[in-house]
Amino acid sequence: MTVKLLMFDLDGTLVDTSMDITNALNYALNFYGFKELTIGDTTKMVGEGITRLVEKLLGESKSRLMDAVIKRFLDYYSEHLTDYSTIYPGVSETLERLNGYRKAVISNKRESLSTRLLEELNLSKYFELVIGSDTAPKRKPSPVPVIYVVSKLGISPQESMMIGDSNYDIEAGKKAGVITVAVTYGYKEKEYLKDADYMIDEFNNLLGILDIH
């Protein structure tokens, strides 16, 4: 297996952002009388970007609040992006050892927030390209963001790998024709990840898949 390009999901794969996202959602929703969300509530629903997440929470009956809730969420989240967000164990050390590979981040978080999050946690130096939900015409689970990155960096899908914690990452990677790796420590349970080519329980297990010793 010759791999030249590694593409990573962000939330739930490189960084645990669940508490900061939950706090921002509660700030946005409590104002309109919604009940307090737990981190468990949030992680069950994340993965498709904030618009889709708020859509799920509001339901049909409260959809008129959509724009106002998203604005409140983004205002708060922008100010508290990394209050509690932490890099998963082994991520920085493993990325250091992957310096022979080209690397990109494909997130369903907006590009500006994704870039800032990586900068604030000192991870941006590892990636030559960061794309968010608003960079390409579609977001994961569409293959469009993966194809966008592969094309932009001039690497064939067969030499590219998508690493993520959700079925959206795996589906996007599969449809784009790249190798897929699911991490099991993120936000989605293993049953959602079974279609991945590889499954790893710790980030540094990626080195074994790439045959780095």
Catalytic residue set = 9
> 213, exposed or middle or buried, with CB in 10 Å at 0-12, 13-18, 19+?
exposed
Question: In Å, what is the CA distance from 50 to each residue of 55, 56, 110?
Answer: 8, 10, 9
| Helices and strands per DSSP (H, E), number in the chain | 9, 8
DSSP H/E element including 130: strand 129-131
Which 8-state DSSP code applies to residue 166? S
